[in-house]
């Protein structure tokens, strides 16, 4: 239950992050034994590029501590949504922090919010929603794939988040979100192949006081169809956003100072052949990288006004 709140000591059954390098991390469960392919319980030994780790040795260790591997060492960290996104088992393509931060901001998600998400996928965005809405909010997340639904439900429970999330298997484009969710949601997020088909159901699910909707679409054609559907269903302030992360390169450079004294005084003939060392100054400069991350998708955001204004 290491996602539910801050902890000091690793308990048996906790999900922990084994940090080797910034680009190399693993998520493991702190259990002394696991079941092998022959259905036998064996000692849990986790293999890394820096050697093996007996997982039972993690139980009782403080989060943030350095643990010894057979060929090096690693740090053991308490997981959060950012670390989980980098280490989770991929069942589908997932969203990453640049898009997720914009989604949370545009949907105005806060503690106590009721959020509807479709589809669940690998649960990357779901963990961010749950962190934002806990302790009194609730996430209703949908996926049409039965196995993904079962796995996501199991992960939420094991992470200590089960009380704040309900996972359902449903084709929301055809069946909607269910009558029990009509008029209860503060925000709706769609990540579907044909999100425009779910827009009318999202309008029914949002509260009479109004709410926000966001749809993620890899292609501009999908986004255009969503915009048309939003207009027909009474949504306003429709906008399209593409989030591109650019990391500037900051470095110190020595810049030569141009000597301009010759403009003020005439140099003697004897000084013309004399070379003087050029003065230079240090400046902190910032420049764009030679390459940058490419397109991920479009975020289509809109507002549903209160019932009396529709």
- pLDDT tens, 103-120? 999 999 999 999 999 999
Backbone Cα Rg of the chain: 27
**Helix or strand run (H / E) with residue 122:** none
pLDDT at position 63? 96
Domain boundary among 51, 79, 107: 79
- From 158-167, 246-255, 256-265, the region with the lowest mean pLDDT: 256-265
Answer yes or no: are the C-beta atoms of 187 and 115 closer than 8 Å: yes
Answer yes or no: are the C-beta atoms of 103 and 45 closer than 8 Å: no
Q: How would you classify residue 112: left for phi > 0, otherwise alpha for psi between -120 and 50, otherwise beta?
A: left
Tokens of 310: 């529709």
27 within a domain of the structure (yes/no): yes
pLDDT at position 101? 95
Among residues 288, 215, 213, 216, the alpha carbon closest in space to that of 245 is found at 288
Give me the CATH number covering residue 54. 3.10.330.20
Q: Rounded mean pLDDT of 231-236?
A: 96
Q: Rounded mean pLDDT of 15-30?
A: 94
**197 confidence band (pLDDT: 50, 70, 90):** very high
262 within a domain of the structure (yes/no): no
**pLDDT higher than threshold 60 for residue 261:** yes
pLDDT at position 240? 95
DSSP 8-state assignment for residue 58: G
Q: Rounded mean pLDDT of 152-169?
A: 94
**247 confidence band (pLDDT: 50, 70, 90):** confident
277 within a domain of the structure (yes/no): no
Cβ neighbours around 204 below 10 Å, total: 14
pLDDT at position 269? 60
Domain with 219, as residue range(s), is: 85-244+293-309
pLDDT at position 245? 81
**pLDDT higher than threshold 70 for residue 262:** no
pLDDT tens digits, 51-87: 999 999 999 999 999 999 999 999 999 999 999 999 9
Q: Rounded mean pLDDT of 19-35?
A: 93
Answer yes or no: are the C-beta atoms of 191 and 120 closer than 8 Å: no
Our count of domains for the chain comes to: 2
Query: What's the mean per-residue pLDDT of the chain?
Result: 91
Give me the CATH number covering residue 131. 3.40.50.150
- For the sheet containing 298-304, what is the strand order? 165-169, 138-143, 114-118, 187-190, 211-217, 298-304, 236-241
**pLDDT higher than threshold 90 for residue 208:** yes
pLDDT at position 166? 97
CA atoms within 13 Å, Cβ hemisphere of 102 = 19
Answer yes or no: are the C-beta atoms of 256 and 280 closer than 8 Å: yes
Q: Rounded mean pLDDT of 154-183?
A: 95
**Is the bond preceding 150 in cis, omega lying within 30 degrees of 0?**
no
User: CA quadruple 214, 220, 222, 226: dihedral positive or negative?
Assistant: positive
114 within a domain of the structure (yes/no): yes
**233 confidence band (pLDDT: 50, 70, 90):** very high
């Amino acid at each position: 239950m290491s996602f539910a709140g801050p902890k000091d000591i690793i308990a048996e059954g906790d999900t922990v992050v084994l940090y080797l390098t910034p680009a190399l991390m693993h998520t493991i469960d702190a259990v002394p034994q696991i079941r092998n392919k022959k259905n036998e319980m064996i000692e849990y030994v986790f293999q890394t590029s820096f050697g093996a780790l007996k997982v039972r040795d993690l139980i009782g260790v403080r989060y943030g501590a350095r643990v010894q591997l057979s060929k090096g060492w690693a740090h053991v960290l308490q997981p959060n949504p950012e670390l989980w996104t980098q280490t989770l088992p991929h069942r589908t393509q997932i969203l990453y922090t640049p898009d997720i931060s914009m989604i949370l901001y545009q949907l105005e998600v806060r503690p106590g919010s009721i959020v509807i998400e479709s589809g669940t996928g690998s649960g990357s965005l779901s963990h961010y929603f749950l962190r934002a809405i806990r302790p009194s909010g609730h996430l209703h997340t949908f996926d049409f794939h039965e196995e993904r639904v079962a796995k996501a439900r199991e992960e939420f429970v094991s992470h200590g988040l089960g009380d704040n999330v309900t996972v359902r298997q449903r084709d929301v484009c055809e069946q909607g979100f269910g009558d029990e969710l009509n008029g209860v949601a503060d925000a709706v997020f769609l990540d579907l192949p044909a999100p425009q088909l779910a827009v009318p159901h999202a309008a029914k699910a949002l509260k009479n006081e109004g709410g926000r909707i966001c749809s993620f679409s890899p292609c501009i054609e999908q986004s255009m169809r969503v915009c048309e559907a939003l207009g027909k269903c009474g949504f306003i302030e429709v906008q399209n956003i593409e989030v591109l992360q650019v990391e500037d390169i900051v470095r110190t450079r020595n810049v030569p100072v141009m000597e301009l004294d010759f403009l003020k005084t005439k140099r003697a003939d004897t000084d013309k052949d004399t070379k003087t060392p050029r003065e230079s100054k240090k400046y902190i400069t910032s420049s764009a990288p030679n390459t940058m991350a490419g397109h991920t998708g479009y975020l289509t955001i809109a507002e549903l006004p209160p019932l009396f204004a529709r």
